[in-house]
């Protein structure tokens, strides 16, 4: 099972995947949040346009739960900073 698949799951998909596992107790929002974080880590080192487009869709979908949508936005911000060559350190912010 890939990250894109998990990011597109609904509750029925989650239940089917973890029917005989303790992971069936994990809430779908938390599972998708964790998949977004893993996807962000992967995308910091690899180019994968379909995965990035999935994250962009989630980030802009008002119907997504806030936890999932906000995480997608944070992941995109981090990826964008890295691809633009930002290190996250702003020397002008140091006193």
Tens-digit pLDDT profile for the chain (95 aa)?
Answer: 799 999 999 999 999 999 999 888 899 999 999 999 999 999 999 999 999 999 999 999 999 999 999 999 999 999 988 777 654 444 444 43
d(CA 51, CA 44): 12
pTM score: 0.82
- The answer to whether residues 55 and 7 touch, using CB atoms and an 8 Å cutoff, is yes
Q: Which residues contact 53 (CB under 8 A, 6 or more apart)?
A: none
- The answer to whether residues 12 and 19 touch, using CB atoms and an 8 Å cutoff, is no
């Amino acid at each position: 099972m890939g990250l894109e698949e998990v990011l597109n799951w609904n509750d029925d998909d989650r239940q089917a995947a973890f029917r005989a596992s303790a992971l069936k107790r994990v809430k779908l929002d938390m599972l998708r949040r964790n998949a977004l974080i893993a996807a962000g880590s992967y995308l910091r080192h690899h180019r994968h346009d379909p995965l990035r487009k999935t994250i962009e869709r989630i980030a802009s979908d008002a119907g997504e739960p806030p936890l999932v949508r906000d995480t997608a936005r944070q992941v995109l911000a981090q990826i964008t900073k890295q691809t633009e060559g930002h290190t996250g350190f702003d020397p002008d912010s140091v006193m």
